């Protein structure tokens, strides 16, 4: 009830205008005086000069009929309670009417959707049915303003707590259906006034429906109910009423609205008696409609008081909970307000004393302080933007979202190193030393970096370039970029664009987006703190393309020397000079890089390493790193050259050295495990020998001591066997340990030396290499020691480096006019076309060499390229295919140490190929001595390092006739 009677409730209203049918009579009865009449307590109360009618409704029905409430007014219940002699003197507020209320046995039935009407209270309802409204007006005109108010039952299948029938829906129910939905017990209600469709009812006495008279409007016959006789002096009834009054008093202390209810009721009804007290408590309580209906139907005064007491007790509990909630909230609010006021006062005091400024002033000071060192170097357009944003920051409220956007923007603008360049080192000799320390070989890459440094030294300044290092995985592309930064004394920043599909990663987000950030280049400049770093863009050939744009196109502005002086990031929205940045890109396959992007790069190809280079790299770099990583000392292990060579040739044939590094680390991990195991076992053996020698010496010393001194013998005899052993150990220590501490240290060192000597040095040789790395992965690429007829070795390029492959041809069947060619080996379209060209050209050459040989015209041939699971394609196998076909046709094998590559036209001309270095390395790995290259590739071969060309007999040809002479005229190699 308290929540219904609180000041925030919309369901409790107080009216200061009396209804027309009420006679106002002011009495000096106070709240406690009215309740105290039942207990014999009398108190003086102040005069009340106004009338207040109070309304209350069911707590479970938030929306009343029409106005959203179900009110009740306190009036006299004279008609219902006039039988009591003690009530005859009570003042009446009801105008006398004729006939009397108890004479009405047939009344109009009014449905009440939310709460029953109690005797002595009034309730406004809204009547939407025009016939019913007309009937009520007619009754009032006939001076018979009475009707029956009956509570409406809940619709079947719904809960009373969730019932929300409106007044309109109530009057949609008519006739017998409405009759069945009404509770039997209701209240005879006087029609006080009718204003429009609002009818004000005043409750008089209890009724019970007996039968239905008419359906539209619903008219019923009723019986007037009288309460059961009760004894006013019954102690149980008195005690129950006293408890009700006590509980009401407690509630009255916390709710002023309840006091208004009691005061108004006592003024216009008179003194409380037991039935009135029960009705009053139930009427103003917050109980639901069924509980109130139960009180209304109860005719036994004692039981009615008990029901009311339960309702009032619940109201008291709710009142306590409300009070505690209100107190907690009040304390919280007051505490926060107090803290806020104190903080504001503290800020004002500190500001007056100059001890502290506000947040916006402190932020502005921080940004200006950060910008001050680079103010002279900062471009004017950037300074202008910063000043405008600082002014804007002062005008914004700290709680606004725009304030945070501006603060973050200023944070990025002021943290960038505008015009702040690191001092570059143009010492070519130093750079050469650093590059040689970090990498073996790679002469062309080192030469290009030294050229860059030399140009910078002559010009006095260096311009940023875009270098693209392309090559197989594991050749050291990323580490080369780090070495270049160290040689140039530049800051190093690396980010990978592999799989990148969002343009915002390159160009940044718009500042209006939530969580907006600048692109990678702006983040790079913030991290390194200089405007001329070395930026390594890794895996540029693996750029993605998604719904967020094309990052490859976004990189054009970043990597174009003509545009990156005014690079525009979407977040900063001011041009940034990136012309001094040295960009180094890495890629495995250059063909995957878009041509517009590739056009802006200077490509340096890293073909890979031959076995000799891998040996040097393993000895000088990989082995040392593995020793440090695994904690193995160099003197504890020996890896022979034969073991390293076997590792390179049989396990790590890749162009790079990453796999070689993994295998070397694997060897050293197993060595570390072996050293630890052997060391642990040796320690236990050595400690066992020491114990045994100590016991032997103890026996000798103990015998000498017994012979020398009697008191020592007596001591030994008095102690048991355990003491004997203890004494022995102590005698050993005194006899063996030197008295000088220096001698003790030397003894410990000798013991450590003996332990280390006990651990044997681990040797890794070709014979036991498989114990460390398992069985060989690769076998010799040379399948044939002596190449049979129709088999020729070719050279191929792959993304992992170069490799050799055999092309084999055999005859399927012979017959007149059956000449045909069938190819297998997962060949691409280009290689299939090369096979057809080779077949046609071979027939022409055979016709020239052996005119009487009809081999190709009458033989069905099968040409196969082994490793059928590997897809193969490319324009460099024509020479090899022709040689294989001619070898079979003329029954002449090809030299075993010969390998060739090159594309052939139908006229026999040899076209240039790519991957000269990779193919040369593959030939050396397969122990090939003679290589045939196209003449156009001579310049590529001349650029190779001397150690790659060493021991090779290379022939450059431009017509197939030269290959024919090299392959078949000199067969001494077979």
Q: Give the residue numbers annotated as catalytic, written as ranges.
A: 876, 919
Distance, in Å, from the CA atom of 486 to the CA atom of 284, rounded to the nearest integer, reads 89
DSSP 125-180: EE---HHHHHHHHHHHHTT--EEEEEEBPPPTTS-GGG----HHHHTT--HHHHHH
Q: How far is CA 388 from CA 224, 266, 379, 693, in A?
A: 87, 74, 15, 89
Pairing of strands 122-126, 198-214: antiparallel
Based on DSSP, count helices (H) and strands (E) in the chain, helices before strands.
Answer: 36, 26
- Distance from C-alpha of 38 to C-alpha of 278, rounded to nearest angstrom: 13
475 is an annotated ligand-binding site residue: yes
Tokens 């000041």 belong to: 7
Closest CA to 648 of 606, 694, 594, 611: 611
| β-strand partners of 860 | 813, 820
Cα gap 286→211, rounded to integer Å? 32
DSSP β-bridge partners for residue 54: 14
- Helix, strand, or coil (residue 156): coil
Q: Phi and psi at residue 493, in whole multiples of 5°?
A: -140, 130
Token pair belonging to 738:
């030197």
Round to whole Å and give the CA distance between 885 and 899: 15
Element (H, E) at 337: helix 301-353
The angle subtended at Cα 661 by Cα 660 and Cα 662, nearest 5°, is 90
User: Is 474 labeled as ligand-binding?
Assistant: yes
In whole angstroms, give the CA distance from residue 931 to residue 899. 5
User: 269 with 93: CB under 8 angstroms?
Assistant: yes
How far apart, in whole angstroms, are the C-alpha atoms of residue 911 and residue 756?
64
Q: List, in order, residues 6 or more apart from 239 with CB less than 8 Å away.
A: none
Residues 68 and 62 sit within 8 Å (Cβ to Cβ)? yes
Report residue 728 as tokens.
Answer: 């022995």
The residue among 895, 935, 943 whose CA lies nearest residue 917 is: 943
Q: Phi then psi for 192, rounded to 5 degrees?
A: -75, -45
Annotated binding residue 472 = yes
Beta bridge partners of 124: 200
Phi-psi sector, 420: left (phi>0), alpha (psi -120 to 50), beta: beta
- Quick one: three-class SS letters along 441-494? CCHHHHHHHHHHHHHHHHHCCCCCCEEEEECCCCCCHHHHHHHHHHHHCCCEEE
Distance, in Å, from the CA atom of 487 to the CA atom of 446, rounded to the nearest integer, reads 11
473 is in an annotated binding site: yes
DSSP 590: G
**354 among annotated binding-site residues:** no
Say if residues 502 and 551 touch (Cβ distance below 8 Å): yes
Q: Is 228 annotated as a binding residue?
A: no
d(CA 64, CA 56): 11
Phi, psi of 840 (to 5 degrees): -65, -45
The two structure tokens encoding residue 894: 């090809």
Structure token digits, residue 336:
């926060």
Specify the DSSP class assigned to residue 696: H
b/e per residue 554-569 (b: at least 16 CB within 10 A): bbbbbbbeeebeebeb
Q: Do residues 203 and 189 lie in contact, with contact meaning Cβ atoms separated by under 8 Å?
A: yes
Q: Looking at residue 909, what DSSP letter applies?
A: B
Binding site residue list for ATP: 471-478
């Amino acid at each position: 009830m308290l929540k219904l009677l609180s000041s925030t409730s919309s369901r409790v209203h107080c009216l200061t205008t009396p209804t027309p049918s009420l006679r106002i009579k002011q009495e000096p009865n106070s709240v406690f005086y009215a309740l105290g009449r039942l207990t014999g307590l009398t108190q003086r109360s102040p005069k009340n000069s106004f009338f207040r009618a109070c309304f209350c409704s069911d707590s479970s029905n938030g929306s009343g009929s029409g106005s959203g409430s179900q009110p009740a007014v306190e009036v006299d219940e004279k008609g219902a309670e006039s039988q009591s002699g003690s009530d005859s003197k009570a003042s009446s507020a009801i105008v006398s009417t004729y006939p009397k209320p108890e004479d009405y046995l047939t009344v109009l039935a009014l449905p009440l959707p939310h709460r029953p009407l109690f005797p002595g209270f009034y309730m406004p309802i809204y009547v939407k049915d025009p016939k019913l409204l007309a009937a009520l007006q007619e009754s009032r005109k006939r001076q018979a303003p009475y009707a029956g108010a009956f509570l409406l039952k809940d619709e079947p299948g719904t809960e009373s707590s969730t019932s929300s029938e409106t007044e309109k829906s109530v009057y949609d129910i008519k006739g017998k259906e409405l009759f069945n939905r009404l509770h039997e017990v209701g209240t005879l209600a006087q029609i006080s006034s009718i204003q429009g469709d609002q009818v004000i009812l005043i409750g008089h006495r209890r009724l019970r429906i007996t039968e239905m008279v008419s359906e539209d409007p619903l008219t019923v016959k009723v019986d007037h109910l009288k309460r059961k006789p009760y004894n006013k002096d019954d102690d149980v009834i008195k005690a129950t009423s006293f408890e009700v009054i006590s509980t009401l008093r407690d509630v009255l202390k916390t709710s002023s609205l309840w006091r208004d209810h009691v005061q108004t009721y006592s003024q216009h009804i008179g003194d409380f008696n037991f039935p009135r007290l029960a009705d009053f408590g139930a009427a103003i309580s917050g109980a639901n409609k069924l509980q109130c209906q139960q009180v209304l139907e109860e005719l036994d005064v004692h039981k009615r008081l008990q029901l009311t007491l339960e309702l009032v007790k619940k109201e008291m509990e709710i009142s306590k909970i409300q009070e505690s909630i209100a107190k907690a909230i009040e304390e919280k609010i007051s505490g926060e307000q107090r803290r806020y006021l104190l903080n504001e006062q503290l800020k004002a005091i500190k500001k007056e004393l100059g001890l502290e400024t506000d947040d916006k002033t402190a932020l502005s000071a921080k940004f200006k302080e950060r910008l001050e060192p680079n103010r002279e170097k900062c471009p004017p357009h950037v300074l202008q933007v910063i000043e405008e944003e600082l002014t804007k920051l002062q005008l914004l409220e700290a709680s606004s979202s725009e304030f945070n956007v501006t603060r973050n923007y200023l944070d990025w603008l002021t943290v960038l190193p505008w015009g702040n360049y690191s001092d570059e080192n143009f010492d070519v000799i130093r750079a050469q030393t650093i590059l040689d320390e970090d990498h073996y070989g790679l002469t062309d890459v080192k030469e290009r970096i030294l050229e860059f440094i030399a140009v910078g030294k002559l010009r006095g300044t260096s311009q940023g370039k875009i270098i693209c290092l392309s090559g197989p995985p594991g050749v050291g592309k990323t580490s080369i970029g780090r070495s270049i930064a160290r040689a140039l004394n530049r800051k190093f920043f690396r980010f990978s664009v592999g799989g990148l599909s969002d343009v915002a990663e390159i160009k940044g987000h718009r500042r209006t987006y939530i969580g907006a950030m600048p692109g990678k280049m702006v983040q790079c400049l913030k991290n390194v703190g200089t405007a001329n770093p070395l930026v390594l863009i890794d895996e540029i050939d693996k750029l993605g393309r998604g719904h967020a744009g094309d990052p490859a196109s976004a990189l054009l502005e970043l990597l174009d020397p003509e545009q990156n002086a005014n690079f525009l990031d979407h977040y900063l929205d001011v041009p940034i000079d990136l012309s001094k940045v040295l960009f180094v890109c890495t890629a495995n396959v250059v063909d995957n890089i878009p041509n517009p992007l590739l056009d802006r790069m200077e490509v340096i190809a890293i073909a890979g390493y031959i076995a000799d280079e891998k040996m040097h790299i393993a000895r000088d770099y990989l082995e040392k790193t593995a020793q440090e990583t695994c904690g193995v000392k160099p003197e504890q292990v020996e890896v022979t050259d034969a073991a390293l060579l076997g590792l390179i040739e049989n396990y790590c044939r890749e162009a790079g050295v990453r796999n070689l590094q993994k295998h070397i680390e694997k060897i050293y991990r197993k060595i570390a495990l072996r050293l630890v195991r052997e060391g642990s076992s040796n320690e236990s053996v050595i400690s066992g020998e020491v114990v045994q020698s100590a016991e032997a010496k103890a026996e000798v010393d103990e015998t000498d001591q017994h012979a020398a001194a009697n008191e020592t013998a007596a001591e030994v005899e008095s102690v048991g066997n355990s003491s004997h052993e203890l004494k022995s150990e102590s005698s050993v220590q005194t006899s063996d340990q030197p008295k000088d501490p220096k001698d003790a240290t030397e003894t410990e060192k000798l013991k450590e030396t003996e332990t280390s000597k006990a651990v044997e040095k681990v040797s890794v040789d070709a014979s036991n290499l498989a114990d460390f790395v398992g069985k060989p992965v690769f076998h010799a690429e040379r399948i044939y020691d002596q190449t049979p007829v129709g088999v020729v070795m070719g050279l191929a390029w792959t993304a992992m480096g170069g490799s050799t492959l055999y092309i084999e041809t055999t005859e399927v069947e012979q017959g007149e006019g059956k000449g045909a060619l069938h190819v297998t080996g997962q060949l691409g379209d280009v290689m299939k076309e090369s096979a057809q060209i080779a077949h046609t050209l071979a027939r022409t050459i055979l016709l020239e060499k052996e005119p009487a040989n009809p081999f190709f015209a009458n033989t069905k041939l099968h040409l196969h390229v082994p490793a059928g699971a590997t897809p193969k394609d490319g324009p460099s196998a024509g020479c090899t295919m022709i040689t294989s076909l001619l070898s079979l046709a003329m029954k002449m094998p090809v030299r075993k140490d010969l390998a060739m590559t090159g594309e052939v036209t139908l006229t026999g001309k040899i076209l240039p190929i790519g991957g000269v270095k990779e193919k040369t390395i593959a030939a050396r790995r397969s122990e090939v001595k003679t290589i045939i290259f196209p003449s156009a590739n001579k310049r590529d071969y001349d650029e190779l390092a001397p150690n790659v060309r060493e021991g090779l007999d290379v022939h450059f040809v431009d017509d197939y006739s030269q290959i024919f002479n090299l392959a078949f005229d000199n067969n001494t190699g077979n």
